[in-house]
Amino acid sequence: MKSDVVEKFKYDKNVFVAVTGKCGGCYFCANACPERAIKEWMPPTINHSLCTRCMKCVEACPREVMQIIY
């Protein structure tokens, strides 16, 4: 995902993050999450009540399948 899109929606509680494609199971997203909001399931599952929309998981995903849904 383009960094300008990430910057636009960072900390916006009107959007959420989700896995939108073929996940490789690397869990870089979960490791990048400061809130420990991502369960290492397949696909990774986000607890939206813990999520601050910091977008670190989106930035960490090498396959760009962790995406901002808006």
Q: Is 52 in the site for ligand SF4 (CB under 6 A)?
A: yes
Give the one residue of 18, 45, 60, 67 binding ligand SF4; rule: CB under 6 A: 60
**Under rule CB under 6 A, residue 44 binds ligand SF4:** yes
* Binding of residue 24 to ligand SF4 (CB under 6 A): yes
In eight-state DSSP terms, residue 47 is -
Q: Taking a C-beta distance cutoff of 8 angstroms, is the pair 38, 58 a contact?
A: no
Please provide the DSSP assignment of 23-43 as one string. --S--HHHHH-TT--EE--SS
- Choose, by CB under 6 A, the member of 5, 6, 15, 54 that binds ligand SF4: 54
Task: Give the tokens for residue 45.
Answer: 């599952």
Is 27 one of the binding residues for ligand SF4 (CB under 6 A)? Answer: yes
Pairing assessment for the beta strands 66-69 and 45-46 based on DSSP bridges: unpaired
List residues near ligand SF4 by CB under 6 A.
Answer: 17, 19, 23-29, 32-33, 35, 37-38, 44, 46, 51-57, 60-61, 63, 65-66
